[in-house]
Amino acid sequence: MEESQPQEQEQKPKHPIIAAYNKVSLIKKIIIGLIIGVILALLIPQDAPEWAAGIGEVISLLGTLFVSALRAVAPILVFFLVISALMNAKAAGSMKTVIVLYILSTLIAALVAVIASFIFPIDLTLAVADDVKQESPSGIGEVLSAIVMNIVANPVDALTNANFIGILAWAIVLGIALRKAGTSVKEVFSSISDAVSTVVRWVINLAPFGIMGLVYTSVSQSGLDIFVEYGQLILLLVGVMLIIALITNPLMVFACTKSNPYPLVLRCLKDSGITAFFTRSSAANIPINMELCRKLGLDKDNYSVSIPLGATINMAGAAITITVMTMAAVHTVGLTVDPLTAVILCVLAAVSACGASGVAGGSLLLIPLACSLFGMDTTVAMEVVAIGFIIGVIQDSCETALNSSSDVLFTATAEYARMRKEGKEYHLGKDAYSLDELD
């Protein structure tokens, strides 16, 4: 009996409307959805006739469905993403200095973001903010107690109730425990992680409709003043990112090299940051960063590891986004944050940021993880995530530019610091200086 040969199935051509929709970039689609939402809110206000009010409810429903979809997929995404990342992580080897710089920069970014959020508090207009009752933790003891109880929660219960602290804890434990698992097991978890990320991309692809519904609801209820809030939020986010890029990161470079850091800082921002701003993907910018490292004459054995690693764990921009958006949610629902809780938030934001790479929507989908520190309702957190998509045209571009450019910055800094200890000459930010030529 002959074995039947598998036949390739012909792929059905996509409907012309779907094909045309997919050809347009997500940024353009979100801008179009935002504009349509504003126009519809002005044409169909809250006091519109009954027949028009029914149309308004349908439009608002699109925003509710989008937030609900994000809320449903976020817990499973964080769980499998962290497990896959930890079980497949390679040994650091000689990357110790680079990793320290990556982690320190991310922590400092979160700390600066918290301080800036205290100095410039922002209240957001949320559809559910008035309906959800939130109580501030009475002190650091209550926060720590809640964290411990959430950590030891049943993993199934944690996934069901979107207990992000518990999800993260179990994912870390399982990820570490599975590091010795066979290749086939690791491939299974990687495939599941990729599959969940694909589902997230599907949800994000429908973001323009959700944004249209959310903007319609916000503008019809609060008027065009809502965009003043979004402008303030963008200014705060971009301002903190500029502080990290132009002040704290250069200080770290100077501490390691004892040389003027700005030639290297500006070179990285120019050659890597500008490209990353438009690609909005640290992974897509890896070839650009590798070429810049080659031009700077860095050791290929080092940067071939540190650059891909940086695209995964060097996430200062993501830490800023997570922290600022979380603090905005905290101020909106009227919670108070004591200094020790703020420090815990910085650490949690930094850890969360390291899981932001490779996720459609990146850092935005990890905001609920930070919000869970305050016991915040996930519906509130997801509305803040949705606002993040509205301002994401600017926020995500600036975030990626900071993340990707600092991959090269700290790779070069670690190597220059080693050369300084060995008494070798180095020239920050200049081309064609191979290690052999500098001996």
Ordered by where they begin, the domains of the chain are 24-421 (1.10.3860)
CB 264 within 8 A of CB 429: yes
Would you place residue 239 in the very low, low, confident or very high pLDDT band (cuts 50, 70, 90)?
A: very high
Express each pLDDT in 109-160 by its tens digit. Answer: 999 999 999 899 888 877 655 555 555 454 555 556 666 777 778 888 888 8
Return the residue matching tokens 């599959």: 195
Residue among 265, 301, 266, 306 at smallest CA distance from 289:
306
- DSSP H helical ranges for 95-206: 96-119, 140-151, 155-160, 164-177, 183-205
Position with higher pLDDT, 10 vs 215: 215
Q: What is the DSSP letter of 258?
A: -
Q: How many CA atoms lie within 13 A of 214 on its CB side?
A: 31
Residue among 315, 359, 386 at smallest CA distance from 76:
359
Give residues with Cβ within 8 angstroms of 107, minimum separation 6: 319, 346, 347, 350
Rg value, the chain, Cα: 23
What pLDDT score does 427 carry?
Answer: 65
Position with higher pLDDT, 184 vs 310: 184
Give residues with Cβ within 8 angstroms of 203, minimum separation 6: 66, 69, 70, 73, 360
Alpha carbons 127 and 333: distance in angstroms, whole number: 12
pTM listed for this prediction: 0.68
The vertex-354 CA angle with 350 and 355, nearest 5°, equals: 120
What pLDDT score does 238 carry?
Answer: 93
Q: What percent of the chain has pLDDT over 70?
A: 78
Residue among 310, 301, 304, 305 at smallest CA distance from 282:
310
Return the residue matching tokens 């502080």: 243
What pLDDT score does 50 carry?
Answer: 67
Q: Mean pLDDT highest for which of 118-127, 134-143, 340-349, 403-412?
A: 403-412
Average pLDDT over residues 33-37: 85
Alpha carbons 202 and 332: distance in angstroms, whole number: 30
What pLDDT score does 244 carry?
Answer: 95
User: Counting every residue, how long is the chain?
Assistant: 439
What pLDDT score does 70 carry?
Answer: 72
The single-letter code of the amino acid at 152 is V
Give residues with Cβ within 8 angstroms of 176, minimum separation 6: 86, 87
**pLDDT surpassing 80 at residue 439:** no
Residue among 102, 124, 167, 120 at smallest CA distance from 317:
102
Would you place residue 48 in the very low, low, confident or very high pLDDT band (cuts 50, 70, 90)?
A: low
**pLDDT surpassing 60 at residue 39:** yes
Q: Which three-class secondary structure state does DSSP give residue 290? A: helix
Backbone angles phi, psi at 49, to 5 degrees: -55, 165
Average pLDDT over residues 284-299: 79
What pLDDT score does 344 carry?
Answer: 84
* 403 CA to centre of own chain: 10
The vertex-314 CA angle with 169 and 409, nearest 5°, equals: 165
**pLDDT surpassing 60 at residue 60:** yes
Residue 316 token pair? 């200062």
Give residues with Cβ within 8 angstroms of 75, minimum separation 6: 158, 159, 162, 164, 167
CB 85 within 8 A of CB 174: no
Alpha carbons 132 and 144: distance in angstroms, whole number: 23
Backbone angles phi, psi at 288, to 5 degrees: -65, -45
Would you place residue 265 in the very low, low, confident or very high pLDDT band (cuts 50, 70, 90)?
A: very high
